[in-house]
Amino acid sequence: MRSTWNSLSLRCGGSHGTPVGQSDLLPIVRSASASKGGRTAYLRHCVKIHEHYARPWFYLAGDYGALGDRENAMMALNKSYENRDIELLSLLVDPDLDLLRADPRFQELIRKVGYPQSSSARTPPTSG
């Protein structure tokens, strides 16, 4: 149960000193689990958390990316860059941002962060 809470807290931004804790997440997780929306419902709840709690913009970008909302994902990534969120260092490896990788705005953000342009695509893990 502890590892489940840790992963849910991380997904909704509850680590890194933000005020979202287990007691805050419990009603959200129960609501998302009870709905037929599953992961999509949970991600929508994570987006709503951002309205009420301090949370790095990068997490919101990942939530929007996982929901397929390119415009809001890019807006949140740009806010993350403006705020110099440390989480932005995961830009190249976060699978929730895969739908943005071909977007010229994403490529420009990679350049602004300082990554080489050849690093823009996430390499899938190899089985071995």
Residue with tokens 């987006």: 47
**What Rg value do the Cα atoms of the chain yield, rounded?**
15
Dist CA 99 CA 72 (whole Å): 12
pLDDT at position 79: 96
- pTM of the shown model: 0.68
pLDDT for the residue 19: 45
Q: How many residues are given for the chain?
A: 128
How many percent of the chain have pLDDT more than 90?
A: 45
* Pair of tokens at residue 120: 């823009």
State pLDDT tens for residues 25-73: 556 555 655 566 777 887 887 788 777 787 889 999 999 999 999 999 9
